[in-house]
Amino acid sequence: MSESDAGRNAGRKSARTAVTRRRVITSGVTSAAAVAGTVAALHPLLTAGQPAGPAGAVAVGGPAGSDGSGGDVEVQPALFDEVYRGRRIQGFTDPGEDGVAITVDGEALPVMRRVDGSWISTANHYQPYTTPLATARAAVDVIGRAKLSAAFAQLHHH
Amino acid sequence: MNTRKNQRNLTSTQRTRFVEAVLELKRSGRYEKYVRTHAQYFASDGENGLRVAHMAPTFFPWHRQFVLYFERDLQLIDPSVTVPYWDWTVDDKETSALWSADFMGGNGRDSDGQVMTGPFAYSGGRWPITFGVTDEKYLTRNIGRPDRPIKLPTKAELDGALALGTYDTAPWNSAPDTQGFRNRIEGWTVSETKGGYLHNRVHQWVGGHMIGAASPNDPVFWLHHAFIDLIWVRWQRLHPKSGYLPSEALAGDDPESGRVISADEPMPPWNVKPSEMFDHRPYYQYEE
Ligand SMILES: [Cu+2]
């Protein structure tokens, strides 16, 4: 038991590290987004059909280095940040080939890009969605209250 | 000779022996490797790198080898067992005997999707999920997706795909303009509301674990893919002059070079060539 728990915790930690390495999510940005309706403000961006890949990423870099917290990371605004059916779903631009990173209650939901620009996630592996937000919501529709497995996310994401 | 039968024609003893072999594979710890392999080799075509299990011409030969290894693992436990197939154009209801308590078990309950009946129900203690998209320990299903109902593919839809005389076409991916039998069967080309086409829609219809990256956690995965395999056999019979494509390695300047496996290139993780899998008859036959 303790062995598997330890393994799971280690997996979760590194999955989180993998997400964090690519961006810093300041609590200020995300809670402000949740409260101030930034989701709605970003909605046109998400539904307008984002350009494929990192070119579509919103280029916000600066502040990370200036607050002395380390210059090797960049601050990215959340694409969306909302509570959907009791789960906090967040999406971020990502320099990787999928162009987006999604979390559910802070756990990484691995996503993959299809050639037509849509996404599939580990929760919906046989059904693509055209926006990151729809991908995240549909994942919650499927997993309900269950917690995403960090060990699985690690294996899945190449 | 190994004969794969329609699951509806299995005797009660055959059903039980299949179930017991699957449960023993689970108990021994050897089942999980199939879940892992399936997740690991599900690459998508909007990314770089090799695609082998899905969104690629090797969808059929890769899954043929995958099911065959599984079947051989079962036969080490019980040599009489083969993987039955589920013809979802016929047994298209939740009331089918496929879902009875002596075989696959029934639907998931409303609250959390947990399968409560049959040998794979968590309460039976013999089917804990140890490697899934979520940390849930129990098998889940959501048959027919009641909140946005979908139906299993019809025979007419399947026949429409079988009529396509070309195995696959460039750029060998999941885009709607990738015409041909393989992409039509795989089923990436239909809208969200319809829930995909043939193969994909069956995953959608079962719901729960079957729609995620850990879909082999539901043992019905094997019955579904045995039928997908039989569909390939039927297509070969209908189009004896049409072969697997691409027949030769793609030119180095082809954008899909290194991303798609031609007939005589090795398929990971087993390094079997698709051409070694074209003819199923050395391995098993189908009773239709
Ligand atoms: Cu499948």
Check A123 against B176: CB less than 8 A apart. no
Confidence bin at B195 (pLDDT 50/70/90): low
Contact status, residue B198 vs residue B185, Cβ threshold 8 Å: yes
Closest CA to A113 of B250, B173, B170: B173
Sheet with strand A100-104: strands edge to edge: A78-84, A87-93, A100-104, A107-109
Q: What is the pLDDT of residues B218-228, one digit of tens each?
A: 999 999 999 99
Displacement of CA A20 from its chain's centroid (Å):
10
pLDDT of residue A154: 85
CA distance B94 to B151: 11
Chain A closest CA to B6's CA: distance in Å?
A: 25
Closest CA to A115 of B267, B149, B172, B85: B172
Contact status, residue B139 vs residue B208, Cβ threshold 8 Å: yes
pTM: 0.83
- Give the SS3 label for residue B285: strand
| Partner residue opposite B36 with nearest CB, options A8, A115, A155 | A155
Q: Which of B130, B133, B186, B205 to mutate to test the interface with A (most CBs of A within 10 A)?
A: B133
Q: In this structure, what token pair is assigned to residue B43? A: 């690459």
| Partner residue opposite A125 with nearest CB, options B173, B174, B213 | B213
Q: Quick check: B14 pLDDT over 70?
A: yes
Q: Quick check: B117 pLDDT over 50?
A: yes
pLDDT of residue A77: 72
Contact status, residue B133 vs residue B212, Cβ threshold 8 Å: yes
Name the residue type at position B3.
Answer: T
Q: Which of residues 6-35 of A touch B (CB under 8 A)?
A: 8
Average pLDDT of chain A? Answer: 65
Average pLDDT of chain B? Answer: 95
User: Chain A residue with minimal CA distance to B137?
Assistant: A146
CA distance B84 to B17: 12
CA distance B277 to B287: 19
Q: Quick check: A59 pLDDT over 80?
A: no
CA distances in angstroms from A152 to A102, A119, B131, listed in the order given: 15, 18, 7
Check A149 against B135: CB less than 8 A apart. yes
Q: Is A114 an 8 Å CB contact of chain B?
A: yes
Displacement of CA A33 from its chain's centroid (Å):
15
Closest CA to A118 of A101, A94, A134: A134
In percent, the amount of chain B with pLDDT more than 70 equals 98
Phi, psi of B48 (to 5 degrees): -90, 170
CA distances in angstroms from B277 to A54, B175, B182, listed in the order given: 39, 25, 15
Confidence bin at A95 (pLDDT 50/70/90): confident
Q: In this structure, what token pair is assigned to residue B152? A: 């299993």
Q: Which of A50, A85, A115, A148 to mutate to test the interface with B (most CBs of B within 10 A)?
A: A115
pLDDT of residue B1: 77
Name the residue type at position A70.
Answer: G
Contact status, residue B172 vs residue B57, Cβ threshold 8 Å: yes
